Structure 1
Amino acid sequence: MNKKILVLLLLVVAIAAGIFFYMKKGEEQVAEKKVEEPAKEMVFHRGNGSEPGSLDPQISEGVPSSHILRDIFEGLTAEHTDGSLIPGQAESWTISPDGTKFTFKLRADAVWSNGDPVTAHDFVYAWQRAVAPATGSEYSFLLYPLQNAQAIAGGEEKDLSQLGAKALDDRTLEVQLEGPAPYFLGMITHSVAYPVHKATVEAHGEKWTRPENIVSNGAFKLSEWTPQSRIVSVKSDTYWNKDTVKLDKVVYYPTESQTTALKRYRAGELDWTYEVPNDQIKWIKENMADEFHVTNYLGTYYYGFNMTKPPFNDPKLRKAFSMAIDRDILTTNIVTAGEVPAYAFVVPGVTGYDPVYSDFKAKEQAARNAEAMKLYEEAGYSKDNPLEIELRYNTSDNHKKIAIAVASMWKKTLGAKVNLVNEEWKVYLETRKLKQVTQAFRAGWIGDYNDPNTFLELWLSDSGLNDTGFNDPEFDSLLKQAGVEQDATKRKELLMKAEGIFLEANAVAPIYHYVTKRMVKPYVKGWKSNVMDHIRSQYITVEK
């Protein structure tokens, strides 16, 4: 063979060998990089409204707290993505033929975040804690269907062991009700019915919910709480259903300004907003319609009147101020996502109920205004002798715009002078509760379960959330009768009569029935709208 050809062949072989070596080396280096590169966390950045007042299941109140508590705790029952009822910490239950006794069997793999088993005793402890007067739970009334719960909460029965909840053994809980409560299984998805870890509560007192102390039993566990900045929960490695949880972390952002929240969403800092500013809805529909989600919501937005002090201890004045609110203008020009003008407190369409409305619903607004002025004058006021009041609301762009509009209506129709007062959420709740300086105030109620009782029990004379001071013995009696009535038709009639009494008193002015309205990034998957707006992070994935 020619020497030149041989040298050329050897050179080609050498080059090929070199290329192969470097390609192989490159593959190995890439493989090494892949091994060394940590897996990216799946994080959900969730707007969450106001700063939660508390994350103690038996003490907390307000929707912002509830969203977080549903992630870090779990009750006997839970909810699927569509809001339908499913087993939670209880794997099964039986119900007595008369509907008054429930026997729950807890899961063998139900475990606290510190590794302790969740037992029936934990539920008994939590429920006794909820109704004990010393705890000061504003939601103790939710457990009134339990035998002796109302007597204990009212101080008539001192022995907590008389509550209708008994641990037959570590995994068996027996619940005795005062009467059949068809909504009971849905009701106990509420945080007041979550179990709490007794040793942790007793060891740390009021500080037991701090991230360094808290022991919980939900799909996530609390890892950080920076007030007015962010709250962080991470996936729990002890949750019984952890294999179905895809998120590694949820970051909740308390942002009272809806305008600020929308800006953060558009900047990519939020994957999900708590709600949206009403004055931006038109722009959102025109520019980001595919990310704007609106759905019916089981709730009522209303103004309450403090009935315990002048001037709103006068029923004529309360009715005058309620009638002078033009709900159609508010839902057409101020809140524009499909909210419905409200003339009832129980949301029309609730299961097993016929709507009951205020007696002025059928009148035109001009006729309402004329009657309102007449009542206003009968109460001792006129445009020459105007009433001056405070209208209080918690800090929020949307609440402020509604308050400005309503104040203008009251001034135009009645001549009343209205001073607007806004307060940060926790301060506002406490002010309302004390009933010392409140006159008229903004409020909203979201049903805790799909039954009229969840709206009416709020106004029991001993309800911790009855911030109007409404107190009617006949109303209380009707709700008590409905609580033990087994005939569905008779129960409905009792509840409808009770709502009629409440609406006639005009303790509140229902304004509109809610819809949820929020922005959601297209890569947020696994969630479904539901009328309760119970969106649990355990079902969500972030597919960026």
Structure 2
Amino acid sequence: MKKFVALLLVLFVCLPVVAACSTLQGDNDKGATISMYLTDFPQTLDPAAVQLQADTAMIFSLIYQPLTTIDEKGKVKPGLAYEWYSYYDNRDEEYKMYFKLNETMWSDGISVSADDVVYAWKRILSPDSESPYASLLFPIKNARQVKSGIMTSDDLGLVAEDDKLLSITFENDYDTGLFAEAVSCIALSPLREDIITRAIKNNTDNSREQDWDKNAAIMVCNGPFRVQGLEEGVKLSLERNQYYYRDDEEDKLDRSVIPFRLVCYYENEKIDKKDTAEATEQQFQADKFDAGKSFYLGSFDKTTFAKYASSVTTNKLLSTYTYYFNTKNDILKDAKVRQALSAALDRQAIVNAIGKNYIASTGFVPSGVFDTASGTDFRKAGGDIYSTTADTAKAASLLNEAGVKGGTLRLAYLVPVTKNVANGLTDTFGKISYELASQIAAESAKASWESLGFTIELVPVYAEEFQSTLSSGNFDIIGVDYAVNSTDAIAYLAPFATKYSGNKVSISLDAETYTPHYTGLSDEEYDTLLDEVIYLKDRTERATKLHAIETKLAELCPATAVFQYTTSYTYNEKILKKISSNYYGYNDFSDLRMADYIETNSRENEESLNEAKTRSTEDESEG
């Protein structure tokens, strides 16, 4: 009897939300619509793609759910999977792992199945895919050969045994606890093959607007929210996934997700055209917050961060802002030149100029990544590799050793909007501005590197051009959000090895083929070091080798981390309650409560109607 009661308690704790009674007020009440500034507008909602903006992960965590998660204390917890275990197959002499999946559904009411995980992971490992997360899956049997094109996805040690049981066969004996941590990465969330395949087939003119990851009408989600509205520069709206851990016929609507909608209206939707003052998006959103028209701020510029500094909550993100060096460039082909440029950066000055509690990088792998066990810190164990202040003497000495006295280099950085939207904002309003961390960093780097004798040309790259710029190698130096979001150091280091980049591969039937990292780095010693650790089970030995790999990466210096991202937020504590975060710094709004929401939403609807009438009258008078 005691065992039976204990089992019931375990099942009770594992449920995402257990609502003893509904929070809704009446049969027609769907819940609160909460106006909030989550993040800047996301340029892709494909979790496995190269991420242009580190804070997009904050949205991913609301609309996707991977197999596991990691709580605030660094412990692996159930996600989509409620149980996992290892198994040694004596007959085939193979090491296996099984994940048992919870019963939940996609936002269109179709059950989430093990096949959805299989599809998502095989998609990452496809030779046609470009995903930096491939190395997280390489412990799976034949994963590397599948990625190289020498084997097909049918050869991968990944099978849906049934609708709710996922089977993994490892290349050799592997730490299943480590793998359970690895699959908590949001990039490894399940995806729907039918949705993506159909969207690709129907998008005959290759329209950006019809990509499945940019169109709310196409996307389906397995997280607590679904994407209800997605229009760049106008609106991001997330609506309760009514099928998330809920029986549509038996359970209350808010059983697992309390709020109905989370809505962010961006500046050019609501801005007063007659107001000629220039303001950043963050300042516009802060004004709404102060006026009681928004209740949560999740993104700041330097001015607004300083304004709310005493009330913000800040969490680390496991992502960095990083410079990639094109190792094929005539000036940058010598590693000592790349080391010199890294040494000359004043990382702390860059962080201070940005002013948002970012952390100056002291190594390539950020703080918070696990070392020998969950909860241990790889960065603390490895010590400092970079100086946070400029070491111009070291930089000058390295350039002297390389025999390089200067030259012209192009430094590219992201403008996180499409060109059409940027031009539209300027033409229509004439006063939209951007305070970009990437631009602030670029201007500081330019000053540092020009003091060494280089001529630096700053090159802004719009969102729709950024991935092609990376893939083509059409840059000398480029700033990227290295949004790895993993607790495993190998995920940060492996992509620079030839076999582990995750980039697209031109298939050869005669031999394994690989595409190097965007930096063009190709180093046999580095590749060998990765080969030695990729399947290693012992975590202490593994950590020692990974520190050696990070040291080697700093020596080769195809890239250098500038700062580690954090996420900060403030909210109206009189209106909102129950915001929680996990180890990755992602906020959970499933249980978010809004005081007096019926009255507030009614007032907002009335104000919105009045604003629409006013704009219509002004447009008619102007016409």
How would you bin the TM-score normalised by the shorter chain?
0.7 to 0.9
SS at match of 2:323: strand
AA aligned opposite 2:549:
A
- In structure 2, the residue matched to 1:130 is 124
Any residues of structure 2 matched to 1:136-175 within 5 Å, and which?
136-157=130-151, 159-175=152-168
Return the alpha-carbon distance in structure 2 between the equivalents of residues 460 and 89 of structure 1: 31
Gap change, CA 1:254 and 1:141, over 3 Å in 2: farther
Return the alpha-carbon distance in structure 1 between the equivalents of residues 527 and 556 of structure 2: 14
Gap change, CA 1:58 and 1:369, over 3 Å in 2: closer
AA aligned opposite 2:54:
V
AA aligned opposite 1:543:
A
Structure 1 residue 503: deviation in Å? 0.6
Residue 224 of structure 2 corresponds to residue 226 of structure 1 = no
Return the alpha-carbon distance in structure 2 between the equivalents of residues 398 and 282 of structure 1: 15
- In structure 2, the residue matched to 1:401 is 440
Return the alpha-carbon distance in structure 2 between the equivalents of residues 493 and 36 of structure 1: 59
Identify the range of structure 1 (56-65 vs 421-430) with the bigger mean alpha-carbon deviation.
56-65
AA aligned opposite 2:46:
D
Gap change, CA 1:177 and 1:260, over 3 Å in 2: farther
Residue 491 of structure 2 corresponds to residue 454 of structure 1 = yes
Gap change, CA 1:470 and 1:541, over 3 Å in 2: farther
Identify the range of structure 1 (227-236 vs 528-537) with the bigger mean alpha-carbon deviation.
528-537
Residue 457 of structure 2 corresponds to residue 419 of structure 1 = yes
Residue 185 of structure 2 corresponds to residue 190 of structure 1 = yes
Return the alpha-carbon distance in structure 2 between the equivalents of residues 195 and 329 of structure 1: 40
SS at match of 1:443: strand
- In structure 2, the residue matched to 1:86 is 77
8 Å CA contact 2:133–2:491 kept in 1: the answer is: no
- In structure 1, the residue matched to 2:34 is 44
Structure 1 residue 500: deviation in Å? 0.9
- In structure 1, the residue matched to 2:588 is 536
SS at match of 1:244: coil
Give the one of 478, 481, 484 matched to 2:529: 478
Return the alpha-carbon distance in structure 2 between the equivalents of residues 57 and 281 of structure 1: 28
- In structure 1, the residue matched to 2:109 is 115
Return the alpha-carbon distance in structure 1 between the equivalents of residues 30 and 401 of structure 2: 69
5+ residue gaps, structure 2: 1-24, 204-210, 247-253, 268-279, 373-377, 416-434, 504-516, 597-623
AA aligned opposite 1:454:
A
Gap change, CA 1:149 and 1:46, over 3 Å in 2: farther
- In structure 2, the residue matched to 1:203 is 198
Gap change, CA 1:430 and 1:542, over 3 Å in 2: farther
User: May I ask how many residue pairs the two structures share in their alignment?
Assistant: 495
SS at match of 2:166: strand
Identify the range of structure 1 (255-264 vs 116-125) with the bigger mean alpha-carbon deviation.
255-264
- In structure 2, the residue matched to 1:278 is 302
5+ residue gaps, structure 1: 1-34
Any residues of structure 2 matched to 1:497-516 within 5 Å, and which?
497-516=548-567
8 Å CA contact 2:413–2:479 kept in 1: the answer is: yes
Structure 1 residue 235: deviation in Å? 0.9
Q: Deviations over 1:73-120 (max 9, x none)?
A: 32222455777533233232222379952212223x322333332222
Return the alpha-carbon distance in structure 1 between the equivalents of residues 217 and 305 of structure 2: 41
Return the alpha-carbon distance in structure 1 between the equivalents of residues 80 and 385 of structure 2: 45
Return the alpha-carbon distance in structure 2 between the equivalents of residues 37 and 119 of structure 1: 32
- In structure 2, the residue matched to 1:10 is none
Gap change, CA 1:138 and 1:374, over 3 Å in 2: closer
Gap change, CA 1:215 and 1:147, over 3 Å in 2: same
SS at match of 2:587: coil
Return the alpha-carbon distance in structure 2 between the equivalents of residues 135 and 459 of structure 1: 17
Structure 1 residue 185: deviation in Å? 1.8
8 Å CA contact 1:51–1:64 kept in 2: the answer is: no
Q: Could you state the TM-score of these two structures normalised by the residue count of structure 2?
A: 0.71
Structure 1 residue 535: deviation in Å? 1.7
Structure 1 residue 306: deviation in Å? 1.4
Structure 1 residue 318: deviation in Å? 1.0
Structure 1 residue 510: deviation in Å? 2.5
Return the alpha-carbon distance in structure 2 between the equivalents of residues 447 and 154 of structure 1: 22
- In structure 2, the residue matched to 1:430 is 468
Gap change, CA 1:397 and 1:484, over 3 Å in 2: closer
Return the alpha-carbon distance in structure 2 between the equivalents of residues 237 and 121 of structure 1: 22
RMSD: 3.2
Return the alpha-carbon distance in structure 2 between the equivalents of residues 226 and 329 of structure 1: 35
Residue 45 of structure 2 corresponds to residue 55 of structure 1 = yes
SS at match of 1:133: coil
Structure 1 residue 501: deviation in Å? 0.7
Give the one of 449, 454, 458 matched to 1:410: 449
Q: Deviations over 1:409-433 (max 9, x none)?
A: 2223x13222222223342333223
AA aligned opposite 1:202:
T
Structure 1 residue 160: deviation in Å? 1.0
SS at match of 1:350: coil
8 Å CA contact 2:360–2:563 kept in 1: the answer is: yes
- In structure 2, the residue matched to 1:371 is 394
AA aligned opposite 1:299:
S
8 Å CA contact 1:83–1:532 kept in 2: the answer is: no
Which one has a bigger Cα radius of gyration?
1
Structure 1 residue 236: deviation in Å? 1.7
8 Å CA contact 1:81–1:539 kept in 2: the answer is: no
- In structure 1, the residue matched to 2:59 is 68
Return the alpha-carbon distance in structure 1 between the equivalents of residues 193 and 257 of structure 2: 27
Q: Could you state the TM-score of these two structures normalised by the residue count of structure 1?
A: 0.81
Gap change, CA 1:457 and 1:521, over 3 Å in 2: farther
- In structure 1, the residue matched to 2:9 is none
- In structure 2, the residue matched to 1:5 is none
- In structure 1, the residue matched to 2:318 is 298
Return the alpha-carbon distance in structure 2 between the equivalents of residues 475 and 410 of structure 1: 27
